[in-house]
Structure 1
Amino acid sequence: MSDLKNYSNMFGIPVTIPNVIWMAITVLLVISYLFNYVIDNDGTLGKAFKYFIQYGKAKSSTNAFDLPKRFFTHYYVLATLWNSACLLNVFSLCYGFTSNNWLTSVFRLRETTNLNGDQISIMLVMVMITIHSMKRLYECLAVSVFSSKAKINIVQYIWGFVYYIILAPTLISESLPLGELPFGSIQPCHVIGILVFVAASYIHHHTHIIFADMRKKGKVKQDSHGVPQGGMFSFVSCPHYFAEVLIYVATLIIVSAQCRSWWLVLVYNLIAHANMGMGAHLWYKRTFPAYPTERKVFVPFVF
């Protein structure tokens, strides 16, 4: 990979506004995991970390600023609209329909042309994250049955919007100006990435169907919970978290050679889902004495 122009670097990764945000949030999540599940601190700091990380059924404390978990839908409305706009801009730049990359102005991105990069990789990943946003919006609107008791806190709500807004600028930050990159051609990494993405998306969607059917067709009432069965639940407590991380693995397979910053997105998702997954896993074990002991948290056979 050629050196990036016009940026300071930290651990080989360019210092951009989105990257600083990814690093800061990930560090906080690592500290949170240590306090919540290693040190097991029930002091003021430990309780604060639990409040800001836990949500839904695993949430152990509430306050007046909490919001209904069904407000997740708001993220995906924004993500669908925003990523669709970013996708249109990226395609327009790559096919020469425009030279105006408004993302560079909004996020103060600089020209960092990577001679090893290509346009097709950026476009493929941009399509993937847009499809994922649309799928999640559909699931929130037409599949999921949210408990009226399930809550998220206001910080999680705000972060959800920030998260989806900084994905696209992170993706293109090391491949500017996009219009000057070679178009490229389909490579083995593209095929592998697409196959992993499709498999992960299926697992993710199937898991949400299982959750919903427990309340739609099963004996679990809308505001109650049960032990989910079937699919990847045979191996882990949170297969949707495993699938979500796999989705970002799939995208990294495609752009790892030209976007070191995308590693930050994957590491963030791995740490974030480890936090959320451990919270849910321990909740299941506390709530259901006969909970299957062979289930891992969210990575089959590993964690």
Structure 2
Amino acid sequence: MIYRFSSLTHMYSSASLFENICLLYHISGIFFLLISFYFKTINKWSLHGKNLFITIEEDERGHTYKFYTLKKKIDDIIISKAYFSHFYIVGLIVNSFLLFQDFIEYSKNERNGFYYISLTNVTLQIHLIRRLLEQLFVVRTTSKSFMHIISYFLGISFYVVTPFSLRHNDRIKYSLLTLFSLTLFVCGNLMQCDSHVRLARLRPQGGKKSDILYKIPYGGLFYFISCPHYFSEILIYFSFLTLNLNFMSSLNFTMVFLILIKNGIQTHKWYLKTLPSAYPNKNIYLKVKYI
């Protein structure tokens, strides 16, 4: 009895520590993202892909003062966008550990530990597996597809913290809200998968042609939304929020929402700047900007 009480006390103190870390991380991340809307340098550090490439090209115009030279050295620390797969690998490792730990712990005290495994973490696991497979076998990166090193570390840290932020070990109770959340999760994943396939088709597979920046995507939700892959990600994380209604999940959703809205704004500007004659098209009145 004393051992069990000590074990529970240790679990509670560890949970409180991780909760405080997650809280501090999300508040700091949200603050960083909010100021990135107004400060060009911080905004650039959070960009990736074509948005970062265009920004770098613009910054190559003549500046000679020392501060700019130092700033440019930091700005030039970029890596391939192919390393996006690291995010999902890290997320899967952390999330798998939590799921396994929960199952073992609750199986000791309950007949069926599955009833106490966090449903949010189960759906997150499915999402991470799908995103990793897409990144490895669907997404086509080019020599101009890269991200800033700060954006990389932000992504790694996000997928370390998110499994802890979404963890919820109360006994699973199925309701209309649960059904809505799971339906939204499935729809969001299907929409995102379709959008990523359409984006991948814009880049020829293999050869030097893969270095060509892709054209304006068409078909599916691209007829109605500027960035349906971002919009569907917002829906997926909103489903996590409705599955796990608490303050930490709301912070997690807010952070995802800000990241994707900011990327959507940059993508929308890229379309208008790079292909103004083709975008927006005649269906502009149906387009939802920035997502």
Aligned to 1:189: 177
Q: Are 2:78 and 1:66 aligned?
A: yes
- Aligned partner (choices 93, 97, 113) of residue 105 of structure 2: 93
SS at match of 1:132: helix
Q: Distance in 1 between matches of 2:173 and 2:198?
A: 38
Within 5 Å, which residues of 2 pair with 1:106-255? 120=115, 123-172=118-167, 178=169, 181=170, 183-216=171-204, 221-224=209-212, 225-255=214-244
Bigger mean CA offset, 237-246 vs 88-97: 88-97
Over residues 118-164 of structure 1, what are the superposed CA-to-partner deviations in whole Å (9 max), with x where a residue is unaligned?
x8586211111111111111001110111111110111111111101
Q: Distance in 2 between matches of 1:79 and 1:156?
A: 16
Please report how far the alpha carbon of residue 193 of structure 1 lies from its aligned counterpart in structure 2 after TM superposition. Answer: 0.6
Gaps of 5+ in 2: 1-11, 57-71
Please report how far the alpha carbon of residue 263 of structure 1 lies from its aligned counterpart in structure 2 after TM superposition. Answer: 0.2
CA contact (8 A) 1:122 1:171 kept: no
Q: Distance in 2 between matches of 1:191 and 1:126?
A: 16
Q: Distance in 2 between matches of 1:25 and 1:276?
A: 15
Residue identity in the other structure for 2:267 = A
Q: Distance in 2 between matches of 1:121 and 1:267?
A: 26
CA contact (8 A) 2:178 2:243 kept: yes
- Aligned partner (choices 270, 274, 293) of residue 261 of structure 2: 274
Q: Are 2:75 and 1:54 aligned?
A: no
Aligned to 1:24: 28
Q: Distance in 2 between matches of 1:254 and 1:47?
A: 36
Q: Are 2:261 and 1:285 aligned?
A: no
CA contact (8 A) 1:125 1:254 kept: yes
CA contact (8 A) 2:106 2:116 kept: no
Identity %: 26
Bigger mean CA offset, 285-294 vs 137-146: 285-294
- The structure-2 alpha-carbon separation of the partners of 1:242 and 1:235, relative to structure 1 and needing over 3 Å to count, comes to same
Q: Which has the larger radius of gyration?
A: 2
Higher relative contact order (CA 8 A, sep 6+): 1
Query: Structure 2-normalised TM-score?
Result: 0.78
Please report how far the alpha carbon of residue 246 of structure 1 lies from its aligned counterpart in structure 2 after TM superposition. Answer: 0.4
Please report how far the alpha carbon of residue 260 of structure 1 lies from its aligned counterpart in structure 2 after TM superposition. Answer: 2.0
CA contact (8 A) 2:181 2:239 kept: yes
Gaps of 5+ in 1: 7-13, 36-45, 99-118
Over residues 147-192 of structure 1, what are the superposed CA-to-partner deviations in whole Å (9 max), with x where a residue is unaligned?
11111011111111110111122223xx5xx4xx4x2432211111
Query: Structure 1-normalised TM-score?
Result: 0.75
- The structure-2 alpha-carbon separation of the partners of 1:216 and 1:248, relative to structure 1 and needing over 3 Å to count, comes to same
Q: Distance in 1 between matches of 2:128 and 2:19?
A: 26
Q: Distance in 2 between matches of 1:197 and 1:167?
A: 16
Aligned to 1:80: 92
SS at match of 2:120: helix
Q: Distance in 2 between matches of 1:64 and 1:247?
A: 33
- The structure-2 alpha-carbon separation of the partners of 1:254 and 1:120, relative to structure 1 and needing over 3 Å to count, comes to farther
Q: Distance in 2 between matches of 1:209 and 1:88?
A: 32
Over aligned residues, Cα RMSD in angstroms?
Answer: 2.7
Over residues 193-215 of structure 1, what are the superposed CA-to-partner deviations in whole Å (9 max), with x where a residue is unaligned?
11000000001111110011112
Please report how far the alpha carbon of residue 289 of structure 1 lies from its aligned counterpart in structure 2 after TM superposition. Answer: 1.4
